[in-house]
Structure 1
Amino acid sequence: MKIEYHQYQLQLKDTFRISHASRDVQPSLVVSVSHNGCTGFGEAAATSYYGVTVEGMIRSLKKVEKIVEDYIEEPPEVIWEKLYPELKTETFALCALDMALHDLYGKRKQKPLYKLWNLDPSEAPQTSYTIGIASTEDMIRKIKDFPWPLYKIKLGTDHDIEIIKALRKHTNSVFRIDANAAWTAEQAIENSHILKELNVEFLEQPLPVDDFEEQKMLYKNSALPIIADESCIVETDVEKCANNFHGVNIKLTKCGGITPALRMISKAKSLGLKTMVGCMTESTVGISAIAQLAPMLDYVDMDGALLLKNDTSTGVKITSEKVIYPTENGTGVKLFKFE
């Protein structure tokens, strides 16, 4: 058994700005786990917002290599349970390793993960393509440069409605709005009625995370479905979102990988919540893992690799018509220049 760490500086096509941050480069860690002639790959993007660095993830993972070696023959969910006590505060690192172990497991079983889960890849929903906050003119340019049937529009300015009205003049595509917790309940309720008439499908995390009284008011009065993002980080958050949100956006890096994400999706469905998995500007390594889950979801946001100038691997390809799954097993990833 061998674990290796591959560090990347992923160059973005455009400056990516949301309500609380902006970046032109995305640091990322790809973890590879090799055993008995097969290699699995997993990824986690670093983020200053959550205090996660590539170097920190590597340090954390080096401490648990012996656990992986001792249980490498077990299914990935069994290994995850052994790793969690050591990495429960290091979910990004845990995600990269869990993803690699799932990829390895699929390759050893000689099946793509979606087949191991009895999913039909033709049922994968279309991903949104993200338009970050910029000048209205620049946001219009991005839409014109990348025609797509479904856009996620990042908002959180003092002229959000004006932005959407301006963008709507240049495309008939469906919009999803992500305000990144920048609105009040009153703003969100008022905006929801306006945005519904502008072909907006839902609002993602318009309110701050912990204000559930305001969230209850929004849930009851919004003209659009409300999807939790920052309010749904780990497994215990799913139940809290019931009767406060209409759906949840699960991030593999935040919850700790594919293993807990599968449980969160199942729990959300049992509570009548819509399910979505989102990305953190990962390369094709991370996106190919999300794509394995896509057929069981209502919505998916896996455009990370589409936003990059340079990628790390081949794997799942996303077009404006469909998701193209590779014939390879596991997540289907082949890392560039990997030996």
Structure 2
Amino acid sequence: MKLILHEYDLKLKHRFSIAHDSRDIQKSLILELRDGQFSGFGEATASKYYGYSIEEMRAILEVNREQIESYQYQSPEEFWVDMSTEMSVNSFAQSALDVAVNDLYAKSKGVSLSKLWGEESSHNLVSNYTIGIDTIEKMAQKLEEFPWPSYKIKLGTKEDIAIIKELRKLTDAKFRVDANCGWGVEETLINAREMIGLGVEFIEQPLVADDWLGMKTLYEKSPLPIIADESIVGEGDIERCYGFFHGVNIKLMKCGGLTPARRMISKAKSYGMKVMVGCMTESSVGISAIAQLLPLLDYVDMDGFLLLESEIADGVRLANNTIVVPDSAGIGVSSLIS
């Protein structure tokens, strides 16, 4: 098995701004595992908030190159466990490796990853499309140029209610609101009472990640469901979020890949929590991996590839205003576009 690393600067269609970050370029590392006629692909993107750079991801993979290339695994789950000590120090690199191994394994069996897991789906769960923070006029322009049935609106400004009211004039689509830790408790309750009448489905991570007392208040008093994002990283956080959030947004890079994500989904459902899987502005490589989990989810945020000026791989695609998930082997990515 040969490890090959591909580095990309993904140019965004618009500057992407949230409450704690803003960027025009998303740096991405594509990990390829080549074994004979098959290649498995995984992706991790750099994150200022979580402190992972492409250089750090490359470094941990190079340190473990010999073990990765010589490993004789029986299953992706076994591989994840045996590599976890070395790779858990960088969950983003760990995720790219885990997705690539899962992709390679399913390709060797000649089936899609979701079918290999025994999950049949028509892939009809609709992803939201994200509108990043900007002026009201520019946010309205972004919405109008991309008609879609569900939007995630990034907030955390002094004009949040005005933004939702203005955008609501333009569409009857579902709205989901993500404050990215930008609000306080009372502000959230006030906004939730306003937004429930404006077609908002839920509020994602309104408070800073460690404000558990505030989160408890919102869990008990908010008229809209509260979904965890920054407050949930790995498997141990599912139990911690129970009784503080109505649902969780699991991200492959934060938890270390598809293998732990599937366990997290199962555990969250056992607690009666809603489950969402989100993206971190990946290309179609990362989004195709997320798509394999669709049969297990209540909500999905897999619009990352739609925010890019151009694509670097095949896999999921946009056709007739719909995200189309290929039914080909593995995650559905056969090659990278040079």
> By the TM > 0.5 criterion, same fold?
yes
* Structure 2 partner of 1:188: 188
Q: State how 1:76-225 maps to structure 2 within 5 Å.
A: 76-225=76-225
Change (3 A) 1:148 1:233: same
Question: How much does 1:334 deviate?
Answer: 2.4
Q: State how 1:242-257 maps to structure 2 within 5 Å.
A: 242-257=242-257
Q: Write the distance in 2 (CA, Å) between the matches of 1:135 and 1:320.
A: 29
* Structure 1 partner of 2:75: 75
Q: C-alpha deviations, 1:53-76, integer Å up to 9, x for none?
A: 112111111112222234343211
Letter in 2 for 1:133: I
8 A Cα contact 1:67 1:82, kept in partner: no
Question: How much does 1:161 deviate?
Answer: 0.6
Question: Alignment partner of 1:102: what SS?
Answer: helix
Change (3 A) 1:245 1:147: same
* Structure 2 partner of 1:10: 10
Change (3 A) 1:19 1:153: same
More displaced stretch, 114-123 vs 140-149: 114-123
Q: Write the distance in 2 (CA, Å) between the matches of 1:325 and 1:157.
A: 35
Structure 2 residue 328 is matched with structure 1 residue 313: no
* Structure 1 partner of 2:331: 331
8 A Cα contact 1:64 1:83, kept in partner: no
Q: Write the distance in 1 (CA, Å) between the matches of 2:4 and 2:119.
A: 30
Question: Alignment partner of 1:121: what SS?
Answer: coil
Letter in 1 for 2:36: N
Letter in 2 for 1:227: I
Question: How much does 1:308 deviate?
Answer: 0.2
Change (3 A) 1:236 1:319: farther
Q: Write the distance in 2 (CA, Å) between the matches of 1:22 and 1:291.
A: 26
* Structure 1 partner of 2:28: 28
Q: C-alpha deviations, 1:256-278, integer Å up to 9, x for none?
A: 11111000000000010000000
* Structure 1 partner of 2:37: 37
Stretches of structure 1 lacking an aligned partner (at least 5 in a row):
none
* Structure 2 partner of 1:263: 263
TM-score, L = length of structure 1: 0.97
Question: How much does 1:312 deviate?
Answer: 1.2
More displaced stretch, 134-143 vs 36-45: 36-45
More displaced stretch, 277-286 vs 83-92: 83-92
Question: Alignment partner of 1:157: what SS?
Answer: coil
Question: Alignment partner of 1:100: what SS?
Answer: helix
Q: Write the distance in 2 (CA, Å) between the matches of 1:181 and 1:68.
A: 37
Question: How much does 1:335 deviate?
Answer: 2.6
Letter in 1 for 2:174: V
How many residues are paired up? Answer: 338
Change (3 A) 1:190 1:24: same
Q: Write the distance in 2 (CA, Å) between the matches of 1:315 and 1:43.
A: 13
Question: How much does 1:44 deviate?
Answer: 0.5
8 A Cα contact 1:124 1:296, kept in partner: no
Q: C-alpha deviations, 1:172-220, integer Å up to 9, x for none?
A: 1110000001111111111111101000000000011111111111111
Q: Write the distance in 1 (CA, Å) between the matches of 2:243 and 2:327.
A: 41
More displaced stretch, 293-302 vs 45-54: 45-54
Seq. identity, %: 51
Letter in 1 for 2:172: N
Stretches of structure 2 lacking an aligned partner (at least 5 in a row):
none
